[in-house]
Amino acid sequence: MCGIAGIVSSGPFKGLITPERIKNMTDSIRHRGPDGEGMYLEETDTTGVGLGHRRLAIIDPTERSVQPMHYLDKYVVIHNGEIYNFKEIRLALEQKGYRFRSMGDAEVIAAAWHEFGPECVHRFEGMFAFALWDRQRQMLFCARDRFGEKPFFFHYDEQTGMLRFASEMKALWADGVEKKTRPQMFLHFLTLGMTQHPDMHELTFYQDIFRLSPAHTLTYTPQEHRLEISRYWDIDKETIIDIGEDEALRHFRNMFEASVNSRMHSDVKEGLAISGGIDSTAIAAAYVRNNRSGQTCHSFSAVFPGFEKDESSYIREVNEAFGLQANIVTPNAEGLLEKMHLMAFHQEEPFGSAGVFAQFDVHAMAVRQGIKVLFDGQGADETLSGYLKYTHWYLQELIAAKQFSRAEQEAGALKDNGFLAEWGWRNKAAAFMPGFTSAMLERKARRLHEGNHDIDQKFMEAYSGAGFIQKPVVEKLNDILYADTCTGGLETLLRYADRNAMAHGLELRLPFLQHDLVSFVFSLPASFRIRKGVTKWILRECYQTSIPENILRRKGKIGFEPPQADWMQDERVKGDIRKGQQKLVDAGMLNPAVLSRVIKPSSAYAPDNRDWRYWVVSQFL
C-alpha cells in the first residue's frame, strides 16, 4: 500500500510543476506511506510531468524498490497496492530477455507495459492503482483494479490541459483544486444513504473531482489534450456452466486456498481480522494451513459486551480452534465522539454507519501490535449471497423457473435458519414481473426521498432528480449480486476499508476478491450459493470439516454491526448530533423544525438512519 499523486500538463508552462507542488500533494497523504517518499519531474517544450509517491514498504523494503520506479529510461511508474502474481509475470518476462534490478512489483508493471501495452492490465491479479508515464510516447497510462480496492481520483482542466490525480482527494485540494461540494450527492445521502450515483460511478461528493471506476484505465496524451477512459474487465453474469457438485467444490476450494496463499507473500508482519462469521473463519483456516513461518498468527476483533449482536463467544472459539493470538478492542460512544471528525478527514466522503468507526479502531489496534498486513473477508457477502436480502431474490428465481415445490421447501428452511425475513404472495408475483418490480421499488425509494420533511424544500427542489433513484431489473440472483459487486455497495465498503486501513499505514488483503474466483462463482447455478436453508452454501460445504461447528451452523446473518443506537443515546453524542443538525440548517439543507424534534437513535443498518446521516454530513461542511 502506498499513496500516489501527480500532475501532467501541456505547455507552455515552464516551471509550473515544481517540487514544492508535488511535495504538498504527497505530504497530504503521508499516512498512506509513512516509510518514505519520492518524486519525478520532467519538462519538455510541450509537456510537464510531476509524479509523487509515499511508500508503505511491504515487499522488498530495500532502496531498490523506491518509487517513482524507472525502467529502460523510457518509463516511470508510481503504484499503490500489490500485484499478487508479479513473480509469475516477472519470470515470464525474464524468459523473454527482460532484466530487473528490484524484487518488487512496480518494476514488473513497467516491464509488462513495455511488452504488452494497455493489455498488461489483463495479466495483473491484485489490488492496484498505478500511473505510468511513457516518456517516448509522451503519454500517461493509469489503471485501477477490478473491484476498486485501491482508490484513484482525478481533476482535469480542459482549457489548460492539466490533469491532476491522487490516491485521495485531499492531495488534489492541497494543490489548489477547489473543495466545492456536489449538492445532489449530499441530498441523496441525507434522504436515502446513497454514496454513489447508480449510473455515473465516476461522480464524487465534490464538483470537478472524479474517481476512476474499478476495472477501468485512463490514458492521457497532454500534447493533444486527449483523455480517454475505458473498461478492461467485467463479470459475465449470464453464462452458467454445467458442473457436478464434487467438481465445483474441489475447484472452489482450490481457487480460494490459492487466493489466500498468494496474499501471504510479504516481508512484514501479518494478521487476521476475525469477526466470528464464516468468511473470516474460512480465511483463518486457509491461512493457518498455508502458514509455514512457524510463528503464532495474531487476530484482531471488535467486541461489544452486553450488545445483543456481540460476537465475542464466536470470536473466542475461532481463536482457540486455530491457535490465534487474540487482540480485542471495545469501541464505545466516547471513542466515536472523539474520532468522528478524524474519520471524516480520512474518509473524505460520507459513511453510512458506525461500523466504520469499529473497523477504524480494529485497524488502529493492529498497527499498534506491529502489523502491516491484515487479511479481511470483504467481498464474500456480495459474491456468495451472504446478505439476507438475497434469499428472496433466489426464491423468486426458482418461482420464475416454475420450481414451486423447491421454492417452498427452501423458503421454509431459510426461515427456520433465520435467513429469510419475509416471503409472501407479493414476492411470488414479483418473480414474473421483474420490470414492474423494479419500477415499484423506484417509486418506493422516491417516496422515502421526497417524504423526508426534515429536508429544506428549496434544497429538495433544486437538487432532486438527475437519475439518482434507480433500481436494477432483477430476473435472477446473479443480477442483484452483479449490481452490488460491480455497480453498487461493494465499492463503498472497499472505500471505507481502504481509508480506515491507510489512516494507520496498514495494508488490507481480501482473498474473496480474486477475480478468477469471483468469475467462477458467478458462473455457477444459484443453488451453489443458497441451498438447504443457508447462504454461502459452497463455502460452508468446502470447510465443513475445517472450521468449528458452531461457526458453520450459525443461524441468521450478523454484519459487522456495533451498538450504534445505544451510542446515539449518549448525551454527549446527542449534543454533537444537534450541533450537526444546526450546521445543516445554517447551510440550507435542513428545516429549522428538525432542531425541536427528538433525536431518533437507529441501528447501524436501519433504513431510516437519518439522524446518523445528518451528523455525518455535518462533518463535511
Contact 492, 355 (CB under 8 A): no
Give residues with Cβ within 8 angstroms of 416, minimum separation 6: 533
pLDDT for 532-582, tens place per residue?
999 999 999 999 999 999 999 888 877 779 999 999 999 999 999 999 999
Q: What angle do CA 476, 416, 475 make, to 5 degrees?
A: 5
Q: Strand 226-231 and strand 216-221: pairing?
A: antiparallel
In this prediction, what percent of the chain has a pLDDT beyond 90? Answer: 89
Plot region of 179 (φ>0 → left; ψ -120 to 50 → alpha; else → beta): beta
Closest by CA to 17, choosing from 126, 160, 227, is 160
Look at residue 469 in the predicted model and tell me its pLDDT. 95
> How far apart, in whole angstroms, are the C-alpha atoms of residue 178 and residue 170?
11
Look at residue 14 in the predicted model and tell me its pLDDT. 65
Closest by CA to 193, choosing from 302, 356, 359, is 356
Domain 2-231, CATH homologous superfamily name and number: Aminohydrolase, N-terminal nucleophile (Ntn) domain (3.60.20.10)
Give yes or no for a cis peptide into 350 (omega within 30° of 0): no
Compare 14 and 177 and report the one with higher pLDDT: 177
Helix axes 278-290, 312-322, angle to 10 degrees: 10
Helix axes 389-400, 404-416, angle to 10 degrees: 160
How many C-beta atoms lie closer than 10 Å to residue 265's C-beta? 14
Model-level pTM?
A: 0.96
Main-chain dihedrals φ then ψ at residue 23, nearest 5 degrees: -65, -40
Grid cell for residue 176: 489548489
Contact 510, 149 (CB under 8 A): yes
> How far apart, in whole angstroms, are the C-alpha atoms of residue 303 and residue 525?
36
> How far apart, in whole angstroms, are the C-alpha atoms of residue 430 and residue 475?
10
- Model confidence at 62: pLDDT above 80: no
Contact 178, 23 (CB under 8 A): no
Architecture of domain 245-383+488-552: 3-Layer(aba) Sandwich (3.40)
pLDDT for 109-160, tens place per residue?
999 999 999 999 999 999 999 999 999 999 999 999 999 999 999 999 998 8
- Model confidence at 13: pLDDT above 80: no
Closest by CA to 193, choosing from 570, 621, 603, 476, is 603
Least reliable range by pLDDT among 58-72, 168-182, 393-407, 496-510: 58-72
Q: pLDDT class for 187, splitting at 50, 70, 90? A: very high
Helix (H) or strand (E) holding 391: helix 389-400
Sheet arrangement for strand 126-134:
69-71, 75-83, 126-134, 139-144, 216-221, 226-231
Strand stretches in 146-278, DSSP E: 153-157, 162-166, 210-211, 216-221, 226-231, 270-273
Amino acid sitting at position 491? E
Amino acid sitting at position 120? C
Q: Where are the domains of the chain?
A: 2-231, 245-383+488-552, 391-486, 564-618
